[in-house]
Amino acid sequence: MFASVSWFPNIGNTCFLNATLQALYSIPSFCADVMGQEALWSPKKTSLKLQSYFGELYKARQGDSSFHSKSTLLRSVKSSLAVFNEEYEGDFQQDAHEFLMLFLMGMKMQGETQQGTSYTCPTLNFEFKLQSVRTCSSCGDKVFQEEEQNNLSLDLSSCLTDSLALYFKASELECTCRQCLGPQATVSRGFLTLPRVLVLHMKRFCYDGKQLRRVNDAVCIPPVLSLASLLEEQQGVLSISQSAGELRRQRQIPAGSFCGHYLSDVIEGDGGEWVTLDDSRVTRTDEAAVLKRRQDTAYLLFYVLSGAGEGDPAPL
Ligand SMILES: [Zn+2]
């Protein structure tokens, strides 16, 4: 069925919310983790509030009119985030990347109440570990450190592959070696584990001394992203294929406001058809058009690990 029912109403500067949620709804493994645990979030008094709203909205999005209206549920998602960030009490536009991070953090925190049960937090879909290695330039002593992440914020370059390589490029650091007291070290990072879904955030905003400015540089978006060269341990060739959403910002109101417009290009349903979801407007598109048209506006990209479907364990 064409995604005619999957639109969301704009309830007041909420394109950031709609576009980001639409991206999440197009990730089958994330939705499966939420919907497969309905017994835990369906009771009215559940502490898994965000998961409950997301699950009810999933049903409303499928066109089941016996559930709450989309507007009510969207408002509930937004107001429940005001607990973490009071800016969500107002009707101001928010940054889609910040919203995604807040939403995942909220879901994870609420999930901590389920310890000791069989609950699996859906946010695990995005989590991965990086390992950084600091090597002393004088004696070669190495210090290893692990970082947990659920997204990467990348500087712009002509291609996404280069932006990613830039993120992992070794850099020089001034620090005192624990062994020889040498003054300099090289720091390099790599993936220790891979996420099921890799979220990439393009740093399209820069502060020019007065206000935030959007940078519209074109970044080519490959349909498949290989991470093999960025893995700390050689685990063979692993690649991820693009799915899910892409968000763009069309304009910005001066004075540093985060006002703008977001929409989402997603793969909808089993047929693998791409659609553009722009609040209540749903239009068909295709992968080639998405990759080409969004080069200078793509803000959040979701890459799904090849072979990771519903019910698969997150790769470690
Ligand atoms: Zn040293």
Grade residue 227 by pLDDT with cuts at 50, 70 and 90.
Answer: confident
In-domain check, residue 311: no
In-domain check, residue 240: yes
286: which 2 tokens? Answer: 């295709």
**Residue 15 in 3-state DSSP?**
helix
Residue 253 reports pLDDT greater than 70: no
CA 164 / ligand 1 centre spacing (Å): 29
In-domain check, residue 204: yes
C-alpha–C-alpha distance, residues 252 and 139, integer Å: 50
CA 149 / ligand 1 centre spacing (Å): 29
CA 139 / ligand 1 centre spacing (Å): 4
Grade residue 314 by pLDDT with cuts at 50, 70 and 90.
Answer: very low
Sheet bearing 184-191, strands edge to edge: 142-149, 128-136, 184-191, 171-174
The per-residue DSSP string of 232-247 comes to SS--S--EEEEEEEEE
In-domain check, residue 316: no
- Tally the domains of the chain: 1
C-alpha–C-alpha distance, residues 141 and 123, integer Å: 36
CA 184 / ligand 1 centre spacing (Å): 8
CATH number for 225: 3.90.70.10
Provide the residue range defining the domain that includes 189. Answer: 15-305
In-domain check, residue 115: yes
In-domain check, residue 101: yes
At 152, which helix (H) or strand (E)? Answer: strand 152-154
CA 258 / ligand 1 centre spacing (Å): 45
CA 169 / ligand 1 centre spacing (Å): 21
In-domain check, residue 231: yes
What pLDDT, in 10s, does the model give residues 150-206? 999 999 999 999 999 999 999 999 999 999 999 999 999 999 888 999 999 999 888
Alpha helices in the chain (DSSP H): 15-25, 28-35, 38-41, 49-61, 70-81, 96-111, 160-167, 287-293
In-domain check, residue 8: no
